[in-house]
Every structure is written in C-alpha cells, then in structure tokens.
Amino acid sequence: MQTKQDAVRVGIVGFGTVGGGAFRLLQENAGEIARRTGCPIVVSHIGARRDRDDLDTSKVKVSRDVFAVVQDPDVDIIVEVMGGTETARAVVTQAILAGKHVVTANKALLAEFGNELFALAERHGVYIAFEAAVAGGVPIIKVLREGLAANRIDALAGIINGTGNYILTEMREKGRSFAEALQEAQALGYAEADPTFDVEGIDAAHKLTILASLAFGIPLQLKKVYTEGISRLTTIDVAYAAELGYSIKHLGLARRTAEGIELRVHPTLIPRERLISHVHGVKNAVLVQSHPVGSTLYYGAGAGAGPTASAIVADLVDVVRAWREGQGGRVPHLAFQPDELYDTPVLPVEAVHTAYYLRLQANDRPGVLAEVTHLLAEQGISIEAILQKPAHAAGQVPVIIVTKVVQERAMNAALAKIEALVDIVDHVVKIRLENLDA
C-alpha cells in the first residue's frame, strides 16, 4: 500500500499526441491532481520512438525500448498510449504480469483482446482503466459503469468518431470535398494513423464494442458489429435528407431487443429535432436510453491531446485513489461482475429493425412509382414520406422514399425486386434512419 507522502510513478508508453498530452497535463494540473489523490503523480519513465522538442523531458528517463518502461521497478502504473494491437498487447500483458495497473486509450486493443486482458488482470489483482478509449474527454465509461448502474440500459446511439463527424460537418456546411476535410482532420491530430479506421467505421466499431459490453453485460465481440463507412456518402443525399428534415450522422448503435442485441455502425438519418443531430465538427456525443432515467445525452470533445489526456489522468486519479486504499480497482472492468456476463446473441444485420431512406433513379414513365410502392407493400413496408424531383436531361427522375421501421431482410428482398425493374436505373441508395425517440 502507498504511504501518504509517496509519489506514484507512472511510465508512459507511446509519446505521440495522446502521450504528450497526458505528460503535459500531469505537470500543468499537478497541484489540483495531488489534492484529489492525496499524493503526487510523477512521470518517471517514457517509452518513445523519438524525442519531442516541444516538451521538457530532461528530468525523466526516456527509452526507445517500450518494454524497458514496463520492467522498470521505478514505475508503478503503465499508461499505454502507443496504439496498434500487437506490441500494445505484449506491453499490457507484461505490465499485468509485473503486477502493475494499466491505463490505456487503446480501443482497438480492448475491442479485440479485452476479454483475455481483463481476465488476466483480474487473476493478477491489477486493474485496466480505459476511459480514454471511447469518446476522448466525455466520461461515458464512468457513466455506463457507475452513474447509470441502477438502470436497465435498453439502447445507446453515439457519434463516436470525431474525424468522421468533422468530415460530414465540413462537407455539409462548407461544401468541402471528402479528401480535403479528411486532410484537415489529420492535420488537427484527430485522425487515426490509418484514416480508413475513421472513415470506414472501424474505430467506431471498436468503441461501440466496448460501450455495448458495458451497457448490456456481454463479452466484447468486435467481429459481430455490422460496420459501414461514410466514404460512399454523397452530398446529394446529405442535401435531400436535409430537405426532408434529417441530418446524416455516422452513428454507432447498440440496442437490446427480445431477439438479441443489435450492434451496428453506419451512416444514419436522424430527425433534425433530436439534440444529437446538432453535434458538429470533431465533437462526440452518446445518447443512452435506460430505465428508469429515460434518455440522457453526453457530449464533448472526442479526440485530440487535451480531451484524451483528461480521461487518462482521470483514470490515473481513480487507480491511485483505490490503490492507496489497498483496493485493486473497485468497479468491474465491464461494469457487470465477470461471472455475470451473458452470452446474449448479437443479431446479424438482416435481422435488425430500422427505418430507411431510399433514393432511386427512375425512368420518367407512368406507373413506375406504382410498381415500386407495390413491391414495398408486398414486403409489408409502409411509406412515411415520398419526394420526387423534376426529371433531368436523361429523362430520369430521382425519387426519395422514407419508410417506417421494417426488418432489414424484408427491405433487402424488396430492393432486389425494385432494382430488377427495367425502369429503375442503377443501384438504389439505401441509408438507415433512426428516430431515436424513447
């Protein structure tokens, strides 16, 4: 157990945007942090591939070999912020085996290997804290694990990738191209090293995997998340959606149903009157629907050095407080007791229920629309709104249809027949729509 006067010594593994941010924050707010923990937290060793000339590390041991940090007896807690999964997995495993608590921002590592790492940590009496892994500075992990612990969580919907949301916002508000907006987000330090993780929804799937486990008490199951990116989204659909009163957001959705759990990341139309549809730029937000509290919304900066460091240092404060009390970490890693996680089935995407925005290119002939609506009706699909635009040069009309909620399997069956009609040109654009009402 720590004595009152001892400083807790932290090793930071990875010294990029996030690691540097945590180092800076521990210095900037050292006084406030020590008042909260009851002892100073000092960085004693940094594992970094290269030096940073914007930060004074002259009083800290710096190693090129990250494992030297993990094995250093003068390091009590490891902050793993290197990203990637291969070396990070070895670093975290070695830290646990060396009896060190771990604070990590690595959502990919936890989504892929969290089940084994948490089990190992539990066997070795250490804790893995991961507030920074989801939604940067928004304390959504603490909300799901602690603040809403009395609730039955029914659904959550999140804008959990700042880069994607920044791109969608820039495209809509400033007419920027997808590539320009992505470049800006990268320059601002928001994007993942591989930007396809952001724009193809992989980063959001990592985060959704973690949130769903905490919400429903299920193991981490990244492979079961249906994932669709924003790279094929066109400005024309963004504009038509707006005309119909919707914003398009890249949403991560987890919902408990009688049949199983829906886990999906995809572009989604949201009614403009929902607060979450006004979350712009790099900001993140998570809407949680639970009983008895109802809908609650958590909003803030989801990426960048300061916000992510805020979450890392908050985790350090939690771990240090518990440690000084002689506890390994009081809250179960996945919110529910490890032997109380259920194998609730995760539904394939064909089994999910959602509403749809459809855009068809139809030859401008009498009866085409009647054929389309007949094929929808055949599958029990009810129409909420329909919008036909004037014919353009080629004699084709864009038709936009918004449907009521239906099972995806029925929608796919209807679309296969609609696309086979001779007067329907090209593939039908299909974007899911969620009303997000309680």
Could you list the residues that contact ligand HSE (CB under 6 A)? Answer: 136, 161-163, 190-192, 198, 203, 302-303
Based on DSSP, count helices (H) and strands (E) in the chain, helices before strands.
Answer: 14, 17
The residues facing 157 across adjacent strands are 253, 287
Cβ closest to ligand HSE, residue 110 vs residue 191: 191
Dihedral angle sign, alpha carbons of residues 93, 96, 97, 100? positive
Instruction: Name the nearest CA neighbour of 283 among 187, 191, 163, 177.
Output: 163
Q: Cis link prior to 271 (omega < 30° from 0)?
A: no
Give the angle 115-120-123 at the CA atoms, nearest 5°. Answer: 125
d(CA 319, CA 158): 27
Cβ closest to ligand HSE, residue 159 vs residue 428: 159
**Residue 300: phi, psi to the nearest 5?**
165, -170
Bridge-based pairing of strands 383-388 and 424-433 is unpaired
Give the Å distances, CA to CA, from 213 to 9, 65, 141, 333: 31, 33, 11, 10
Helix (H, G, I), strand (E, B) or coil at 301: strand
Catalytic-residue membership of 283: no
Total residue length of the chain: 438
d(CA 410, CA 417): 11
**Residue 270: phi, psi to the nearest 5?**
-130, 135
Collect all residues with Cβ–Cβ distance below 8 Å to 200 and sequence separation of at least 6.
227, 229, 231
The least CB distance from residue 74 to ligand HSE, in Å, is 30
d(CA 396, CA 340): 57
Residue 5 DSSP code: T
The residues facing 254 across adjacent strands are 156, 263
Cβ closest to ligand HSE, residue 192 vs residue 228: 192
Q: With contact defined as beta carbons under 8 Å apart, do 107 and 308 qualify?
A: no
Give the angle 111-114-117 at the CA atoms, nearest 5°. Answer: 155
Catalytic pick among 59, 100, 142, 207: 207
The least CB distance from residue 185 to ligand HSE, in Å, is 7
Amino acid letter at 426?
Answer: D
Residue burial 122-146, b: 16+ Cβ < 10 Å; e: rest: beeebbbbbbbbbbbbbbbbbbbbe
d(CA 161, CA 203): 7
Annotated catalytic sites, by residue? Answer: 207
